[in-house]
Structure 1
Amino acid sequence: MHASTGNLSSRSFLRFLLVGGGATLLQYLIMAALMTLFAVSAVRASTIGFLLSAIFNYWANARFTFAAQGGHRRSILRFAVTLCAGLAINALVLYAFKKMGAAVWLAQLIATGVVLVWNYTINAIWTFRKRHSS
């Protein structure tokens, strides 16, 4: 059964995973290039890579995943809010599972899963919500 509510669908979720994987790869490539070619510190290189990959992530999700139409002013702001909330959720889940004694890698995997579900759901129903004309 293929259930779809607005932007929530198995197709958009698969596309979301592909875009996220591409954005992560882009972040790592930028980080590696900055560190290797320009001797940029790991934290600075990762941050630059993250920010540039976030731009790609927004664009690809707007066009490929959710086929957003119209202006970007509202959706870019919502994307940034969702991204920041996801970062906070990641930190909280990681902290909580580490506090319960979980290994760091397991805690991070759980946090990544929670943030993945958060980001997909909020982006589908809020960030890139289809506007209905009356």
Structure 2
Amino acid sequence: MIKSMNNSFSRFLLVGGTSTILDYVIYIILSRYIDYSLAKVISMCCACTYSFFLNKEFSFKDQSKNNIDQLIKYVVAQVINITVNVLVNAFVLKTVGIKIIAFIVATGTAMIVNYLLQKVFVFRGVKK
């Protein structure tokens, strides 16, 4: 169980890192030509789509065909994840008063919550 979690968590981190890079690159390119808010929406949608399918196939090795159900669960998980990120960031910022510390703590906390949500809620039908 621990070895399986470590492997899926490492793959999850890799997907998350590449997803963040994809988000950033698309945002930077599109924001040169269109409104930055629209560019961010498009880049996040691309990164989330990429992340969903790679986490399903690569991180969690889920081979079920429940893409619609899982996609809905994924969106719910992302809403929870964003909420946790924002709340932790606000709490730490009010407590410590240092933005970078708040950002790091919020991102780390949200990453763990996101991993657990995807592992037990979104892709729980993992094939070994």
Moved over 4 A (4+): none
With a CA cutoff of 8 Å and minimum separation of 6, indicate the structure with the bigger relative contact order.
1
Which is greater in Rg?
1
2:109 alignment partner AA: V
| TM-score normalized by the length of structure 1 | 0.87
Matched residue, 1:118: 113
1:33-88: per-residue Cα shift (whole Å, max 9, x none)?
A: 1022x1x2333222211111000000100111111122212111111100010011
**Are 1:69 and 2:63 counterparts?**
yes
* 1:130 equivalent in alignment to 2:119: no
Quick one: percent identity of the two aligned structures? Answer: 26
Aligned residue pairs total 126
2:83 alignment counterpart: 88
Counterpart in the other structure of 1:27: 23
> What corresponds to 1:12 in structure 2?
8
**Structure 1 residues without counterparts, runs of 5 or longer:** none
TM-align CA RMSD: 1.7
| Structure 2 unmatched runs, 5+ | none
Between the aligned partners of 1:64 and 1:128, the Cα distance in structure 2 is: 11
